[in-house]
Structure 1
Amino acid sequence: MSGEQTNIKVVVRVRPYNRRELEQNQRQIVKVLDNSTLLFDPDEEDDEFFFQGTKQNYRDITKRVNKKISMDFDIVFDPETTNQQIFEECTSPLVASVLNGYNCSVFVYGATGAGKTFTMLGNDSCPGLTYLTMRELFEKIQAQSATHKFDVGVSYLEVYNELVMNLLTKTGPLKLREDSNGVVVSGLVLKPIYSADELLQLLTQGNSNRTQHPTDANAESSRSHAIFQVHIRMTDRKTGTKRTVKLSMIDLQI
């Protein structure tokens, strides 16, 4: 996470069937073998028949041959996994890294209807990774308040048709420029926040401003990239030393 060292994890979450897929009795195209391996295009269950009381397997030789390709990842979550479990395994450790001075990023990526927005934002009964991560961040900030002063500001941007919009103020398009700190968004003002519950209100406000178009796979598809960033300025109360770090949580659309 510093210098030439990188620390990247690739995590796969397999979502359950949705209502339309259940109604159409669609076949399973991925199968979770264990907590790090997926099987793509697995065999379908063979038909069965019995001869003299013994089960026999029947294979239709006219069926196409399945690819049965297995791939390994850092972590594979099956359809029963909750947002809370994914948070504990994947993004909770990032909070400590951020407060130790490292910039960190979380990307969710996949086709529309894959469950990216649900994973990041969740719903009223099942909070997503963004809220769960911010809640832990504020808990750790409170635990360190005696030795450090923390200033937290957030931004929530949408990238759609190569235009950048501020979802919190519904303004834009904003211009990008490059300086010694990298690519920055001109005119972007961070919104100070002081609790994870306050964040929920901002996310609700921002999501209502996201560009949405219905698709065959998802009637409420968000057709834009959404970039939520947390900027933290940490000041050592004893020495006055300041350090600024950033946590990015990004919902990417194919």
Structure 2
Amino acid sequence: MSKNKSECIQVVIRCRPLSKKERENGNEKVVQMYSREDKGEIMVGREGDEEPPKQFTFDKVFDEAIGQEQLFEESSRAIVGNVLEGYNGTIFAYGQTGTGKTHTMEGEQKPKEMRGVMSRCFEAVFNCIDAHKDAQFLVRASYLEIYKENIRDLLSPNPKNKLIMHEKPDSGVYVKDLSSFICKNYQEMQAVQNTGRKNKSMGETKMNARSSRSHSVFTLTLECSELGPDGKDHIRVGKLNMVDLAGSERQSKTDASGQRLEEAIKINLSLTCLCQVISALTDTKSSYVPYRDSQLTRLLQDSLGGNTKTVMIANIG
């Protein structure tokens, strides 16, 4: 799976539809999207405005008509296949507060068409396992959040307790005392996610009545034991991180103060570090990647760069 740096990291755009309130206020759509065979372009702005429209190019673009299933198939399905082959991968949902990140990642369980990327990854993994009768699989799940640069176990009876990250020379970074659950099917893994979701740090801001104030990371680790051509058992391990990033916000728009301001500062610093890491990974001339500048990038160090695959779903609107 050897690829160049830019092929291992893809950025796709998802634009949400106008809300009922926006339509009632007479707001107009200012983003136009154009898909080509290998890339997607967006045009931001309107003809006749003081500033001319600005054009940006991404790996793929999806307008407000895109459904949950099509988004998964075209942005994230391939990563599941890579994880089954023993590679690590990460799927991010990125964007300003209220642009639909959590809808993209979690969605709704009913109706089935509304399920998000996470549930569809769970289903795809266990469908592949069911199809490989000659191999043995072990699937484990963990779920944490990073709140103001502190790590919390969303599956712990005491989710507010702070956990510490450590590093081993042979196996890399790990979170001490982080809960891990073995899941034998889709339903068990979905139940794990539902448990963790209830413990996420949420808060009200001027831009969103129910805003996630932390980065949440659901990690699916898959171990496969399979008989090779040499008659010996071969074990491969893949890991998939599904990350719902806290919303990026400008303090001038949120009027945040006190705890909300402190949260926003930490969120924006962490997102800046993530952008710097991704920029370094896609820059062929860069020899240094600042993983240690934030808890999030340090945690995901073994799943960014190298032979791993990363998709950033940037939500706009």
Give the TM-score taking structure 2 as reference length.
0.70
Pairing 1:192–2:179 present: no
1:160 alignment counterpart: 147
Deviation digits for residues 212-249 of structure 1 (CA, Å, limit 9, x no counterpart): 11122221111110001001111124522222210111
2:71 alignment counterpart: 86
2:127 alignment counterpart: 139
- Give the Cα–Cα distance (whole angstroms) in 2 for the partners of residues 194 and 92 of structure 1: 20
- Give the Cα–Cα distance (whole angstroms) in 2 for the partners of residues 34 and 3 of structure 1: 24
Secondary structure class of the residue paired with 1:210: coil
Corresponding letter in the other structure for 1:40: V
Pairing of 1:211-222 with structure 2 (within 5 A): 211-222=201-212
Gaps of 5+ in 1: 45-63
Structure 1 range deviating more: 70-79 or 163-172: 163-172
Pairing of 1:105-120 with structure 2 (within 5 A): 105-120=90-105
Task: Detail structure 1 runs of 4+ shifted over 4 Å in the superposition.
Answer: 1-6
Corresponding letter in the other structure for 1:206: G
Considering fraction of residues, name the structure with more strand: 1
Corresponding letter in the other structure for 2:27: Q
Report if aligned partners of 2:142, 2:155 keep a CA contact under 8 Å in 1: yes
Deviation digits for residues 140-198 of structure 1 (CA, Å, limit 9, x no counterpart): 1111132x110000111110111111111243211011222322101123111111222
1:71 alignment counterpart: 56
Secondary structure class of the residue paired with 1:241: strand
Pairing of 1:1-254 with structure 2 (within 5 A): 1-2=1-2, 7-34=8-35, 36-43=40-47, 64-123=49-108, 124-125=110-111, 126-146=114-134, 148-169=135-156, 170-171=158-159, 172-180=161-169, 181-237=171-227, 238-253=231-246, 254=248
Secondary structure class of the residue paired with 1:227: strand
- Give the Cα–Cα distance (whole angstroms) in 2 for the partners of residues 118 and 197 of structure 1: 20
Report if aligned partners of 2:145, 2:153 keep a CA contact under 8 Å in 1: yes
Question: How many aligned residue pairs are there?
Answer: 234
Report if aligned partners of 2:87, 2:237 keep a CA contact under 8 Å in 1: no
- Shift of the 87–223 alpha-carbon distance from structure 1 to 2, 3 Å rule, reads same
Secondary structure class of the residue paired with 2:196: helix
Higher relative CO (Cα under 8 Å, sequence separation at least 6) belongs to: 2
Report if aligned partners of 1:224, 1:252 keep a CA contact under 8 Å in 2: yes
Secondary structure class of the residue paired with 1:149: strand
Report if aligned partners of 1:31, 1:42 keep a CA contact under 8 Å in 2: no
- Give the Cα–Cα distance (whole angstroms) in 2 for the partners of residues 117 and 136 of structure 1: 20
Report if aligned partners of 1:158, 1:167 keep a CA contact under 8 Å in 2: yes
Considering fraction of residues, name the structure with more helix: 2
